Chain A
Amino acid sequence: MVVRLFMRQFQHNLIRQLKRYSKRAALKGERLESQWETVIGLEIHAQISAKSKLFSGSGTTFASPINSMVSFFDASLPGTLPVLNRRCVEAGILTALALQCRLNLVSMFDRKHYFYADLPAGYQITQQRCPLAKDGHVEYLAPDEVHRKLVLKRARLTQLQLEQDSGKSLHDVEMSHSLIDLNRAGIGLMEIITEPEFCSAVEAASFVRELQLILQVIGVCDGKMEEGSLRVDASVSVRRPSEPLGIRSEIKNLNSIRHLMRSIEFETLRQISILESGGQVLNETRAYDVETGETVSMRDKERLHDYRFMAEPNLPPLRLYTNDTVPNGVPSDQIINVDELRAMLPELPNAKRERLKKQYGLSVEHSNVFVNEPTLLECFEKIVANQNLQNVKIASNICINEVLAAVNKKNIAFSASNLSAESVGELVELVQDEVISLLTLRKILEVLLQDSSKLPKQVIEERGWHQVSNETALENICCQVIAANPKVVDDYRDGKTKVFNYLIGEVQKKLSGQSNVKAVVRIMKQKLDT
């Protein structure tokens, strides 16, 4: 139906142009970027996890057969009316509370008009004039550019509004057809708008990660960017320090954190190159091309839209109540009480990080890892609670540096690894009691990840991986190594202490890594120094 061949041609030209830009930018490199500041604002669309859509009873299951989740209302049949889904409102309120927003006790819905094939009514119901909530903020950790340490930052939020998602269009250029799937049309979205205050792609990405985590923790959005449940638009502009904001372009529909970062980085360079060569940045919407890693201009028409906003006449104002204002005699299913929802909020990531730091003395980095890995944290807290550990640090180190590293290497999530708290706990215990070395632990983990039915002790028994701590046995091996490496020993005694580790390594080799390293070091030192 729709042929947009000209678009392709247009895009090709652009990509070629941009390649030139970025090459030039790369050549000038550091020097260029250091003279410019990037300013980034984000608009996040989070699909609300709800059984039915924002204004209709149809289902929301991802990847359902095409056009199978479409009610009469979703297809905009004449005479159908929107009925607000209570669950979506509650999700919006929980989110607003978690993001420290100011809730509007009365909010309104508006119609935003534009013609598009996947928008059946010709308008989207959204909240433009009086949104559900305003003025929030999120504290998040972002790596410091220079030291790579995590630093606490704060992002300010402009507003949070409820709105409908659109359907999906698939343009078949060869057949000159557009295929429309309305399954997504009308699913509840929360649109979260930030102030344009992020200074780098890393900052923006860290914020989105934190937001994703918050939404997941409070259970209002599954946060699956790859399925489109969380989509980000980034407004990017550059300026010289202390100058007013530059002209921005908007990169639409970024569906992974990596794409978000790459596209912002590319866009920054592109804009700097344009400005450096005396050009002007266009205020336009752009798309990120995953294959080339570049942003490309979308249809120019879009930025000229006048959306002709109008109050949605079929929905009364959305009223929220607090414990103090709940009217008497009205059934509770017709009332939304903010205070009741507030009481339902679980521990939020930031509070959790603080607690982990305080309760277990964890580093910022470790507590951050745990907050991002809730099942691993659960495992860690179980271990710590069950065992009388002298040192919580061993447990957190093993969880993060060993267990998480091992599952990451296998490209699976900890929750999918089938590693139980019991077996990880046993590993911690074994290391703490110096029954095994870290090298052995890694070997055991390998085995457990293959076959989770076994426990570490079983594996050790079966494979004879006990750590050799027997003093005389270790002394013998040390003597053998010394005898076999007279030159190295001489070097050591001449003051080249670096070679010491080589000798220890030789001992380890002889014992297939099962020696108690501490003991070996002590004995070896003793032998060499006397």
Chain B
Amino acid sequence: MFAANIKQVAALMQNGQLSAKDLCELCIKRMKRIKELNVFITEMPELALRSACAADRRIKNGSGDILEGIPVAFKDNFSTAGIRTSCASRMLKGYVPPYNATVVEKLISRGSVLMGKTNMDEFAMGCGSVDGAFGPVRNPWKYRFEATRRDRPGAAQSSPSAARIADRGRQFHSASPSQCLDVEADDSAEWFIAGGSSGGSAVSVASGAVLAALGSDTGGSTRNPASYCGVVGLKPTYGLLSRHGLIPLVNSMDVPGILTRSVDDAVVILNALAGHDPKDSTTVVEPFKPCALPDVASIKGLKIGIPQEYHAPGLSSDMKDSWQHVADIVENAGATVKRVSLPHTALSIVCYHVLCACEVASNMARYDGLEYGHRAKDESSTESLYAASRHEAFNNVVRGRILAGNYFLLKQNYDRYYVQAQRVRRLISQDFWNTFRSGIDILLTPTVLGDAPSYRWFSKADNRTRTQEQDVFTQPANMAGIPAISLPVALSSNGLPLGLQLLGQPFKEQQLLTAAKAIEQLVNFRALDFDKLLYCD
């Protein structure tokens, strides 16, 4: 079942071979089995089953919508009416929004089944999904499940219909027992991070609990975990998807991100979500032309740029090799591959940090515990109530960024930091413009430096250090507002997925996704075979 793409699953439901309810039950079972990965902050099995049954009724009554009955998950920073939306923070642990984010509304109104709200870094500030109030998310790749260590219910098999699709679906990478044992036997704590901050959403897709999930992408928060978890992560052009209801990190860079197992699935979700929203003045008013990809995508004739600045320090040799390998493949497939320069790339991450801190300081000002959110007991004065509520409910990372942002925005620092960062931001955008103007259609880069780091290693340094390393290739796209997609292309020598990033021109998602699909078909990456992993015999 989990090998099929949305279109195939929808077809099965349309011709009655599969009911939305059965599919939903399968997903609930999967959610339970991956509990250890800490993927969901809130699971809604009952609500999901009810929506699935409703979808079945609508299908029976003739609804042919491709999203009818499709199980999806949302990162816990998308507002969901009547369902807690915590941003993985103590601040919003008890917050239940009274409204749906536009993107949530769009998927639900098309019949998608909301399975749960996924785990993340607190307020999306992070790149490992380890800094949230609900604990870290674990990468399913090479993860040793309790089940694989104790009982092995080998009898448990997926439903017949699921097996059928698996047969004709694409190939799986099978996590062999030997690979499971690769992990140092004496350290059961050794596991790999999922990446972030949309780690929960990436794992929910990678592990087959849902067919698609929404994350958010401010500096790479969708593409980074996509790369580490071996799924597709699309960051659309800024202004194409509504941010209304997405709890902001950096308003001028945030976009809802799409996590799926294939490029085709990403297109289905993108087509459902894109377009002007009167509730978000930064969405473009021009009507969106849905993307349509050919069954066999071609990359022939495209001019692909390889930015030399992305040969950054710390780039793993595995990643470098895959990058080179894919560049060769696309060239062989008829694309022109050209070295290009984005000279201001090195400045980007510092500039990103300044701008991010400023907007964070501002956006977080509303959390005072008065209208909603955590309220401390200290009511001796308004000021002390604010201070206590905010101190108790924000983690160190959030508080650190607020402090930095307020410092940058002080009158005496404003020009030196905020204004200067805005200027650099313009230079970074211009780098992209100049490259595209020179005839380059798409840029090919690594998504991150290498494969997923272990939690033990990752947690040795603080959040700021890690984001500085991790976001280095991803945040320039946010600074410039251009679309980007991370695709799994290979496994590292350690047996973990590696993702490459394609950067496209604003609002040319059609071109970007066509190229992505072509590469996807050329590299034929084998997704994680979860059934085998869980019951590795």
Q: Identify which of B320-328, B409-417, B443-451, B502-510 touches chain A.
A: B409-417
Q: Identify which of B105-113, B307-315, B377-385 touches chain A.
A: B377-385
Q: Which of B78, B250, B366, B409 has the most chain A CB atoms inside 10 A of its CB?
A: B366
Q: A79 touching B247 by the CB < 8 A rule?
A: yes
Interface string of B217-257 (1 = CB under 8 A from A): 00000000000000000000000000111111011100000
Chain B neighbourhood of A180, CB < 8 A: 370
Q: Identify which of B144-152, B189-197, B280-288, B488-496 touches chain A.
A: B280-288
B276-302 CB contacts (< 8 Å) to partner A = 278-282, 285
Q: B368 touching A2 by the CB < 8 A rule?
A: no
With beta carbons under 8 angstroms apart, the residue of B246, B252, B282, B368 that contacts A79 is: B246
Chain B neighbourhood of A77, CB < 8 A: 79, 97-99, 371-372
Chain B neighbourhood of A113, CB < 8 A: 361-362, 365, 409
- Asked whether A308 and B382 contact (CB < 8 A) given A72-B99, A313-B359, the answer is no
Chain A neighbourhood of B411, CB < 8 A: 306, 308
* Chain B: minimal CB distance from A327 (Å): 12
Does any Cβ of B come within 8 Å of A188's Cβ? no
Interface string of A105-133 (1 = CB under 8 A from B): 00000010101110011110000000000
With beta carbons under 8 angstroms apart, the residue of B99, B252, B368 that contacts A115 is: B368
Bound-state Cα–Cα, A121 to B382, Å:
15
Q: B98 touching A117 by the CB < 8 A rule?
A: no
- Asked whether A78 and B379 contact (CB < 8 A) given A1-B385, A122-B368, A308-B410, the answer is no
Does any Cβ of B come within 8 Å of A75's Cβ? yes
Q: Which of A75, A83, A117, A313 has the most chain B CB atoms inside 10 A of its CB?
A: A313
Does any Cβ of A come within 8 Å of B42's Cβ? no
Does any Cβ of B come within 8 Å of A350's Cβ? no
A-B pair number, CB within 8 angstroms: 112
Does any Cβ of B come within 8 Å of A219's Cβ? no
Bound-state Cα–Cα, A82 to B380, Å:
33
Does any Cβ of A come within 8 Å of B351's Cβ? no
Q: B365 touching A3 by the CB < 8 A rule?
A: no
Q: A310 touching B381 by the CB < 8 A rule?
A: no
- Asked whether A314 and B282 contact (CB < 8 A) given A79-B101, A309-B409, the answer is yes
Q: A3 touching B380 by the CB < 8 A rule?
A: yes
* Minimal Cβ-Cβ distance residue in B for A178: B382
Does any Cβ of B come within 8 Å of A390's Cβ? no
With beta carbons under 8 angstroms apart, the residue of B243, B381, B409 that contacts A3 is: B381
Interface string of A297-315 (1 = CB under 8 A from B): 0000000001011100111
With beta carbons under 8 angstroms apart, the residue of A72, A123, A178, A316 that contacts B362 is: A123
Q: A121 touching B365 by the CB < 8 A rule?
A: yes
* Minimal Cβ-Cβ distance residue in A for B239: A316
* Minimal Cβ-Cβ distance residue in B for A2: B382
Bound-state Cα–Cα, A482 to B461, Å:
116
* Chain A: minimal CB distance from B479 (Å): 13
- Asked whether A310 and B418 contact (CB < 8 A) given A72-B98, A79-B245, A81-B280, the answer is yes
* Chain B: minimal CB distance from A83 (Å): 6
* Minimal Cβ-Cβ distance residue in B for A3: B381
Bound-state Cα–Cα, A349 to B246, Å:
48
Chain A neighbourhood of B380, CB < 8 A: 3
Bound-state Cα–Cα, A116 to B78, Å:
27
Does any Cβ of A come within 8 Å of B358's Cβ? yes
Report whether over half of chain A's contact residues are helix, strand or loop; otherwise say mixed. loop
Chain A neighbourhood of B179, CB < 8 A: none
With beta carbons under 8 angstroms apart, the residue of A1, A306, A334 that contacts B382 is: A1
Does any Cβ of B come within 8 Å of A384's Cβ? no
Bound-state Cα–Cα, A111 to B368, Å:
17
Chain A neighbourhood of B244, CB < 8 A: 79-81
Task: Please give the number of chain B residues whose Cβ is less than 8 angstroms from any Cβ of chain A in the complex.
Answer: 50
Does any Cβ of B come within 8 Å of A84's Cβ? yes
Does any Cβ of A come within 8 Å of B406's Cβ? yes
* Minimal Cβ-Cβ distance residue in A for B101: A79
Does any Cβ of B come within 8 Å of A76's Cβ? yes
Bound-state Cα–Cα, A122 to B365, Å:
5
* Chain A: minimal CB distance from B238 (Å): 11
Q: B281 touching A115 by the CB < 8 A rule?
A: no
* Minimal Cβ-Cβ distance residue in B for A116: B382
Q: A306 touching B98 by the CB < 8 A rule?
A: no
Q: A313 touching B79 by the CB < 8 A rule?
A: no
Chain B neighbourhood of A84, CB < 8 A: 281
Chain A neighbourhood of B365, CB < 8 A: 113, 115, 121-123
* Minimal Cβ-Cβ distance residue in B for A1: B379
Bound-state Cα–Cα, A364 to B380, Å:
59
* Minimal Cβ-Cβ distance residue in B for A55: B281
Does any Cβ of A come within 8 Å of B386's Cβ? yes
- Asked whether A308 and B409 contact (CB < 8 A) given A81-B244, A111-B362, the answer is yes
* Minimal Cβ-Cβ distance residue in A for B372: A77
Chain B neighbourhood of A115, CB < 8 A: 365, 368, 382-383, 386
Chain A neighbourhood of B278, CB < 8 A: 83
Q: B370 touching A117 by the CB < 8 A rule?
A: yes
Does any Cβ of A come within 8 Å of B72's Cβ? no
Bound-state Cα–Cα, A82 to B358, Å:
19
* Chain B: minimal CB distance from A114 (Å): 9
Bound-state Cα–Cα, A176 to B385, Å:
13
Bound-state Cα–Cα, A3 to B383, Å:
11
Chain A neighbourhood of B383, CB < 8 A: 115
Bound-state Cα–Cα, A193 to B418, Å:
27
Q: Which of A77, A111, A117 has the most chain B CB atoms inside 10 A of its CB?
A: A77
Chain B neighbourhood of A120, CB < 8 A: 366, 368, 370-371
Q: Which of A77, A78, A120 has the most chain B CB atoms inside 10 A of its CB?
A: A78
Interface string of A274-287 (1 = CB under 8 A from B): 00000000000000
Q: A334 touching B99 by the CB < 8 A rule?
A: no
Does any Cβ of A come within 8 Å of B424's Cβ? no
Chain A neighbourhood of B99, CB < 8 A: 72, 77
Q: A2 touching B381 by the CB < 8 A rule?
A: yes
A123-172 CB contacts (< 8 Å) to partner B = 123
Can you name 28 A-B residue pairings with CB atoms under 8 Å? Answer: A1-B379, A3-B381, A75-B371, A75-B372, A76-B371, A77-B99, A77-B371, A77-B372, A78-B87, A79-B77, A79-B101, A79-B247, A80-B245, A81-B243, A113-B362, A113-B409, A115-B365, A115-B368, A115-B383, A117-B368, A123-B365, A308-B362, A308-B406, A308-B409, A308-B411, A310-B362, A313-B250, A314-B281
**Interface pairs A-B: 9 shortest CB-CB:** A122-B365, A308-B409, A313-B251, A313-B252, A78-B247, A79-B245, A76-B366, A79-B79, A121-B366
A81-B281, A123-B365 known; 10 new pairs, CB 8 Å cut-off, are A1-B382, A1-B385, A80-B244, A113-B361, A113-B409, A115-B382, A120-B370, A180-B370, A310-B358, A334-B285
Q: Which residues of B are at the interface with A, using a C-beta cutoff of 8 A?
A: 77-79, 85, 87, 92, 95, 97-99, 101, 243-248, 250-252, 278-282, 285, 358-359, 361-362, 364-366, 368, 370-372, 379-383, 385-386, 406, 409-411, 414, 418
